[in-house]
Amino acid sequence: MEIGRRTMARIGFIGVGNMGGPMARNLLKAGHALKAFDLSEKLLGTMKDAGAEIAGSAAEAARDVDVLVTMLPAGPQVRKVYEGEVLSQAAPGTLLVDCSTIDVETARAVAAAAGDKGFAMVDAPVSGGVGGAEAGTLTFMVGGPEEAFEAARPYLEQMGKTIVHTGGAGNGQAAKMCNNMMLGIQMISVAEAFVLAEKLGLDHQKLFDVSSKASGQCWSLTTYCPVPGPVPTSPANRDYQPGFTTAMMLKDLKLSQDAAEGFEAETVLGREAMALYQRFSEGGNDAVDFSGIIKMIRESTE
Ligand code: NAD
């Protein structure tokens, strides 16, 4: 059976928030007919203005389409939407693409339920943030059978730049949580180094000039430096407006720690990073960029 592949396809899109909205608009720009559903009437209004048809429910968005894309907050919403509506309403042969960031176990359970009903499905979480969603430069980490990956690839290429098949069902989510655990730990390591440098009388720019060319270099330093100055585009230069919020980072670190516990991996620094982001979040910083954690680290050493 051919799954979902067409030049101009009919696409259902459920969850058109900060990420899903611009992703859906890029599919519209690519010439597809798009049917959108979200719990927010306001967001549906903006999708209508962009040329989408509006569905009255998730079930309606899933009916009579070649491809269904979901971009929902977390595992419970994904399970509810698929098991409650999509799997009973989508036509045979509909390709299912979940781009939400969720736990591996839910991703595998939903993919198995989809497989039992004969659907091809991939989990395809993204990296790159709202800017990447708008520019169509997202990185997709895709878990699922080869055939489903190949069917999804043309659509993912219209929303992103780097598309990596990371293995079977759930492995997109596995890659996403491993990557973001590295990111969370590395941001704290860079922030601690800058705070230590301040104590030692070492200028921010000088530390940057050395470490961005030496063995301490990483994305948190060279692209997203948590002090103002060295990287003009980093959120530190706009009082830590996101970017990538602390709430999102904490969500991803919790996913990685739940997985570490469930799959018996020892992730000492991942656990510690989660505890530090939890504290930062409890200080009222959920909406602050995650690099703003340097303020808490600085305050706790004063
Ligand atoms: P968001 O809250 O802006 O969008 C989620 C949308 O889903 C909302 O508009 C909400 O109304 C809708 N929704 C919730 N339950 C629904 C349901 N049952 N039926 C239909 N619609 C429903 O969140 P976002 O920032 O777009 O993030 C979406 C996903 O992408 C999350 O899993 C997040 O972790 C991941 N992500 C976000 C970023 C980022 O920078 N924002 C980056 C990478 C990955």
Return the pLDDT at 4: 54
Residues 155 and 24 grouped into a single domain? yes
Are the CB atoms for 71 and 64 separated by under 8 Å?
Answer: no
Contact 122, 143 (CB under 8 A): yes
Residues 6+ apart with CB under 8 A from 69: 11, 12, 13, 14, 20, 23, 24, 27, 97, 98, 99, 155
26 and 156: one domain? yes
Any atom of ligand 1 within 6 Å of the Cβ of 86: no
127 φ/ψ angles, rounded to the nearest 5 degrees: -130, 145
What number of other Cβ atoms are within 10 A of residue 145's Cβ?
A: 16
140 and 45 in one domain? yes
Note whether 111 and 124 are within 8 A (CB).
no
Helical packing angle, 41-49 and 20-29, nearest 10°: 20
Q: Return the half-sphere exposure (C-beta side, CA atoms, 13 A cut-off) of residue 264.
A: 0
Is residue 186 located within the same domain as residue 240? yes
Q: Please tell me whether residues 17 and 71 are part of one structural domain.
A: yes
What does the pLDDT read at residue 252? 97
The whole-model pTM stands at 0.94
Q: What average pLDDT values come out for the chain (302 residues) when binned by 10 residues?
A: 67 97 98 98 98 98 98 97 97 98 97 98 94 95 98 98 98 97 98 98 98 97 97 97 94 97 96 98 98 97 72
Q: What are phi and psi of 96, to 5 degrees?
A: -110, 130
The pair of structure tokens assigned to 43 is 């967001």
Active site residue 42: no
Final residue belonging to a domain, choices 142, 168, 194: 168
Q: Provide the CATH number for the domain around residue 61.
A: 3.40.50.720
Does some domain include residue 289?
Answer: yes
Q: Do residue 155 and residue 48 come from a single domain?
A: yes
pLDDT digits (tens, 9 = 90+) for 102-119: 999 999 999 999 999 999
Distance 208 CA to ligand 1 centre (A): 34
Distance 105 CA to ligand 1 centre (A): 19
Using one digit for the tens of pLDDT, what is the confidence trace for 12-31?
Answer: 999 999 899 999 999 999 99
Question: Catalytic: which of 42, 48, 176, 254?
Answer: 176
CB 264 within 8 A of CB 281: no
- Residue that is last in its domain, among 118, 138, 168: 168
Count of structural domains within the chain: 2
Q: How far is the CA of 276 from the centre of ligand 1 (A)?
A: 24
Q: Return the pLDDT at 1.
A: 42
| Ligand 1 pocket check for 72: Cβ under 6 Å | yes
Range of the domain at 196: 174-300
Query: Which pLDDT score is estimated for 95?
Result: 98
